[in-house]
Structure 1
Amino acid sequence: MTDHDGQVREFLAAATLHRRDIDRFLDPAEPNWARFDAQLGYLPHDSRVVDGHGGATSTYRYGALGERLVINYQDRHCRLHSFGDSFTQCHQVSDGETWLEYLAANLGEPIRNFGVGGFGVYQAALRLQQVQATADGTEYVILNIFLDDHYRNLDSYRLLRVGSAWWREQRELPVGMFHANPWRHVRLDASGRLVERPNPCPTPESLYDLCDTDFLIETFGADPIVQLLVAGQTGDFSFIQDQAELANALGVEFDPSTDEARAASARRLYTACAFRSSIEIIQSVREELARRKQRLLVLLSYPGGEVAAACAGQPRADLAFVRRLDALGIDYVDGLAAHLQDFEAFALTPNDYVDRYYHSHHTPAGNHFFAMNVAKPALINWLEPRPPAYRGEAGS
């Protein structure tokens, strides 16, 4: 066993779960934020969690289709669905405080919210495909993409990247927050082609394998994300030397000559794979929706740190991705650009500006900003006919 192999074993040993973690997650009598799903890993579940801005308790409730509870205009026909991660689900706020509900109240029509905290672009797209292929599918579809979602496409077991320290902090909370378990995911082969991979733990019983360090080593020991995570701790990026063909296929600068050069090459390649996978997924979703005469709009969301960095004049992390959306003619709305425009109206530091809208996720004020300044301007003219509130109609 090499030193690197030993570090991988140590990393996975630290990530080995306790059986009580799985017992609690699978117990229908336990208060849990999420429930197991064979394809997607997990889906959200009714719960009340003390996680809101100012110490508020957030109420999470879900409808018959698994969507977050519709508050505004629930008695009217729905023609708009939204999919994404926690910035779509609107984690850390209660049902009526999501940007989708603020937006629905303003537009005068309902919006179903199928966001799931922790999902990547691929997992959100799988859920989109499941819903939109049914009789409940809508003519208009929003795919909201957060900056980390690109990387989540590649995670076979996201809890490994989130970190065992995070899970140890969550383990004893009154409401079970277990999620980020294994799920369907994607990778790029040596030619740069997108390859879909199955869930390595597709049954409730198989989740108990996550309590076995030997299983983790056998299943995830050679995983490139695990290799990258361990290399970040040890400085040994020698594993990247086998990735020259993929780097060449993606046009990524590749230099395996020194430790520093290998580390930089590994990070460039990881980022390139993440963004390339999202582009491939978005194109596929757009084509599939078009065959059903359904339209796609992509909304781009960002963490507070990225917003603060942009307001301070730093270059955006996803510039190449945004340029690719432009080149492909994909309809999208840039949430970062909206924040930069808004920032100009304040005499604040970038961090003070971000504090107006973020509490890890968006605060209610942040969701209102996203609804009114990011989503609404695009939707008014995108929806045909226009939303009820913007048709110039008056009367009884």
Structure 2
Amino acid sequence: MNTPDAQRPIPVASSSTASRRSDLPGRITLILVALLVGFGVLELGLRAWSGYLLTWPNFVLEARTVLAGRDAGRYLQDARLGHLPRPGYAAPGITINAQGLRSTGASVAPVGAPILAVGDSFTFGDEVSDGETWPAALQRLVDRPVFNAGVSGYGFDQIVLRAEALAAEVKPAAIVVAFIADDIRRTEMRRLWSADKPYFDLEGDNLALRGVPVPPRADPQSTLTFWQRTLGYSLLVDFVLRRLDLLHNWFGDHVRVHPAGTGERIACALTGRLAQLQKTTGAPVLVVAEYDPVVWDDPSFAAEQRRLTGGLLACARRNGLATLDSYRAMAAMPAPRSLYVLWHMNEAGNAMIARAIKEALATVVKP
């Protein structure tokens, strides 16, 4: 017996509906062509306005090639640390001595052992001259030489390895280990800004050093993705990413080996290595948190940076290390943002950091 549903006629698509469906590929093609034409008009207009109409470089490749050329003169390849300042290198305002350390100016008459300063570009003193870095300012405040062993671009893992490598040679009275929050993230990488680096794996409560010997820097041509090989020629893409402040990963060549957040555990474990270094050398270790300028521009960013640095400083204290959080001293200044050049501390900012470090060292270093 037929049911009412069985007797109901099956609807047939109208001719207009079928026509619309058959036109769908054409409509999509038309939209894509319109987008490409619009993109092309904007690209040509921007190039005519910017003076790039007759020049079509790959902006990503160009940036990486310039960086590789600069770093080839400034750094030496190192199988354990990735790269080190080149002994004897000199540029306006920058002098690297025969030991591969940045000059801190005229050395004071030595009274006891020196202070060893390790860290990233904030310790090295990017954007300021030799005498304007915080290690140079610290040297003028204390009765000891200060060795500036900071290296731009280092992660917290490389900073610790640098301290270990130099401590036996320098025999310091104290070791100052400075970092910014981004150095914690850098421990999650095996390549930063096209330069390969060592990294650590967590094996239970232990750390295993990986990536050594560190390979030489790769040819910039070999580091581009498909999109960088194609869209890298677009001035419009470059313009948009620049305005959105997204060029860091577009121009930079970074290779991650650990999930985001793993660096917090790695950095915490690395303070255990610093504690061992303190024990074997007898030199007290002071761990110092510094801050990049965005902390003073963006409250939410500042909160995350302070969480990261606070966690690492807490790990250092649990391992018996002295710590210094420079945030409080900077926040007490009338205009903390004025203590920077563009990204790094200016002479006044570095002088303030040096004063804070001197006070902190006074409690742990024997006269």
Q: TM-score, normalised by structure 2?
A: 0.65
Q: CA deviation at 1:75?
A: 4.4
Partner of residue 138, structure 1: 172
1:292 counterpart = 2:275? no
Structure 2 gap segments, 5+ residues each: 1-57, 227-245, 251-256
- 2: distance between equivalents of 1:107 and 1:37? 32
Match of 1:359 among 342, 345, 349: 342
Among 182, 185, 205, the alignment partner of 2:199 is: 185
Among candidates 191, 201, 206, match of residue 157 of structure 1: 191
Report the CA distance between 1:382 and its aligned residue: 2.1
The answer to whether residue 78 in structure 2 is matched with residue 37 in structure 1 is yes
Percent of matched pairs sharing the same residue: 22
* Residue 188 of structure 2 is aligned to residue 212 of structure 1: no
Worse overlay, 70-79 or 329-338: 70-79
Does 1:64 find its partner at 2:98?
yes
Distance 2:123 2:186 in 1: 15
How big is the shift at 1:152? 1.3
Partner of 1:47: 90
Closer/same/farther in 2, CA of residues 19 and 62 from structure 1, 3 Å limit:
closer
Give the counterpart letter for 1:212 in structure 2: S
Give CA deviations for 1:137-166 in whole Å, capped at 9, x if unaligned.
21311111111111112211112xxxxxxx
2:118·2:163 contact (CA, 8 Å) conserved in 1?
yes
| Correspondence for 1:320 among 311, 327, 334 | 311
Moved over 6 A (4+): 13-23
CA-based RMSD of the aligned residues comes to 3.6
Query: What residue in structure 1 maps to residue 4 of structure 2?
Result: none
Partner of 1:239: none
| TM-score w.r.t. length of structure 1 | 0.61
Q: Please say if residues 156 and 199 of structure 1, whose CA atoms lie closer than 8 Å, have aligned partners that are also in contact.
A: no
Cα shift readout 1:75-129 (whole Å, capped 9, x = no counterpart): 4254211111011111111111111111211223211110000011111111111
CA drift of 1:384 comes to: 0.5
The alignment status of 1:90 with 2:137, answered yes or no, reads no
Preserved contact between residue 80 and residue 214 of structure 2 (Cα < 8 Å): no
Write the letter of the residue equivalent to 1:124: I
CA contact (8 A) 2:76 2:84 kept: yes
Report what 1:221 is aligned to: none
Q: AA paired with 1:280? A: A
**CA–CA separation in structure 1 for the residues paired with 2:108 and 2:136:** 11
Distance 2:276 2:83 in 1: 26
Check conservation: 2:295, 2:302, Cα contact below 8 A: no
- Structure 2 residue aligned with 1:109, among 126, 135, 144? 144
Change (3 A) 1:366 1:61: same
Secondary structure of the corresponding residue to residue 311 of structure 2: helix
Q: Is the 8 A contact 1:84 1:124 kept in 2?
A: yes
| Preserved CA contact (<8 Å) 1:307 1:339 | no
Structure with greater Cα Rg = 2
Contact 1:61 1:69 in 2 (8 A): yes
Change (3 A) 1:16 1:296: same
Conserved 8 A contact 2:188-2:260? no
**Where does the alignment leave 5 or more consecutive residues of structure 1 unmatched?**
1-12, 49-57, 160-179, 217-228, 234-242, 244-265, 347-351, 386-396
For residues 1-396 of structure 1, what are the structure 2 equivalents within 5 Å?
24=69, 32-45=73-86, 46-48=89-91, 58-77=92-111, 78-134=113-169, 136-159=170-193, 180-188=194-202, 191=204, 193-199=206-212, 201-203=214-216, 207-208=217-218, 211-212=221-222, 270-271=260-261, 273-309=262-298, 314=303, 316-318=306-308, 319-340=310-331, 342-343=332-333, 346=334, 353-372=336-355, 374-385=356-367
